[in-house]
Amino acid sequence: MKSPFANGRAQARVAARPARRSRQLRFSILQPHYVPMLILVGFVMVAVFGGFFAPHDPGIPDLRNTYRPPFWQEGGTTNFLLGTDNLGRDMLSRLILGARVSLLVILVGIPGHIAIGVTLGLVSGYAGRGVDTFIMRLVDIYLAFPTILLALALIPVLGPGIKTIFIIIIVTGWAGYARIIRSEVLTVKSRDFVSLAKVAGASDLRIIFSHILPQVINTMLVISTLQVGTVIIFEASLSFLGIGTQPPMSSWGQILSDGRQYVSTAWWIAFFPGVFIVMTCLSANLLGDWVRDKLDPRLRQL
């Protein structure tokens, strides 16, 4: 026969389990990387599917509803939740379209950086000697040249527009990949499995892509996550200067530029795109820090 004390202890353990699970759930939700991850997932969902739910056409002006404040302010209406701009265009719809532009820039720019930077880093680190010196001097020259000036030099040749933005972002973001991947390759190529592959008669291309590249993928992923915020800010900067996306296409930087002259009278035109840029870039950087610590703690000094 069990003692009443044993039954009491068993009941206490059973009662403690839900509380323990609740504490574990709260702890997991409060993990530092969960909030930026949720924000970025929301950003992607809005960019991909937001166009189906946008309340208005973001490119059509409505001069009867110019400078409408957000719905919670006097004069606002739920028909324009975040207000309207100087031409009566719905701010919420324009911000949704701007999210789509930012996502397109990420999807085009980051793979472009990887294709150029990782390839040059692999070749530079593996070949060594004259090839390494030439590529690294090229990287040094590139990094010494301000990227905004390079963009301003390319605009008269290519003309403003989203395609030009893609080209500029691709050609201005590869150097960081090349330098870091090259340093990783210098370490990896001295390992025994690379020497054994050479003794076995493997070609240089096979060694690079079958033995060395898999060893630097974690580093490549870390750089890519940290580059997301940089790409968004760079595109927003170009659009803010008027050399990025052109109407009727909207980007957050362009909307911010449109609203800077109305800050004192219609603060919401510049405020909301600024908040979206800050939240997205900060979330990308925080998530990139977490990915870096998980995949390769040696890169914490980056």
Q: Does 206 or 161 have the greater pLDDT score?
A: 206
pLDDT for the residue numbered 90: 93
pLDDT for the residue numbered 18: 53
Bridge partners for 80 per DSSP: 77
Q: Each residue of 92-116: b (16+ CB within 10 Å) or e?
A: bbbbbbbbbbbbbbbebbbebbbeb
Tell me how far the alpha carbon of residue 134 is from its chain's centroid.
30
pLDDT digits (tens, 9 = 90+) for 198-237: 888 888 888 998 889 988 888 888 888 888 888 988 888 8
Q: How far apart are CA 217 and CA 215, in angstroms?
A: 6
Answer whether residue 100 shows pLDDT above 80: yes
When pLDDT is averaged across residues 67-77 and rounded to a whole number, the result is 90
pLDDT for the residue numbered 285: 87
Q: How far apart are CA 244 and CA 251, in angstroms?
A: 9
Q: Are 189 and 245 in contact (CB under 8 A)?
A: no
For the chain, percent of residues with pLDDT exceeding 90: 32
- pTM of the predicted protein model: 0.80
Token pair of 154 as six digits = 């390319």
HSE (CB half, 13 Å, CA atoms) of 264?
1
User: Long-range contacts of range 274-277, CB-CB < 8 Å, 24 or more positions apart?
Assistant: 276/95, 276/98, 276/99, 276/252, 277/232, 277/233, 277/236, 277/252, 277/253
When pLDDT is averaged across residues 192-196 and rounded to a whole number, the result is 88
Residue 73 burial (C-beta neighbours within 10 Å; 0-12, 13-18, 19+): exposed
Token pair of 91 as six digits = 């701010």
pLDDT for the residue numbered 179: 92
For the chain, domains (ranges, CATH) are: 62-301 (1.10.3720.10)
Please provide the size of the chain in residues: 302
Closest CA to 221 of 172, 184, 167, 169: 184
When pLDDT is averaged across residues 270-299 and rounded to a whole number, the result is 84
pLDDT for the residue numbered 135: 93
Q: Which residue has the tokens 């946008």?
A: 54
pLDDT for the residue numbered 14: 44
pLDDT for the residue numbered 31: 66
Confidence band for 27, pLDDT divided at 50, 70 and 90: very low
Q: Are 31 and 289 in contact (CB under 8 A)?
A: no
When pLDDT is averaged across residues 66-78 and rounded to a whole number, the result is 89
Confidence band for 21, pLDDT divided at 50, 70 and 90: low
When pLDDT is averaged across residues 269-290 and rounded to a whole number, the result is 90
Bridge partners for 46 per DSSP: none
Q: Are 113 and 227 in contact (CB under 8 A)?
A: yes
| Among the ranges given (74-88, 124-138, 201-215, 285-299), the one the predictor scored with the smallest mean pLDDT | 285-299
Q: Are 258 and 272 in contact (CB under 8 A)?
A: no
As a whole number, the mean pLDDT across the chain is 84
Token pair of 78 as six digits = 């739920």
> Quick one: residue 67, left, alpha or beta (phi over 0 = left, psi -120 to 50 = alpha)?
left
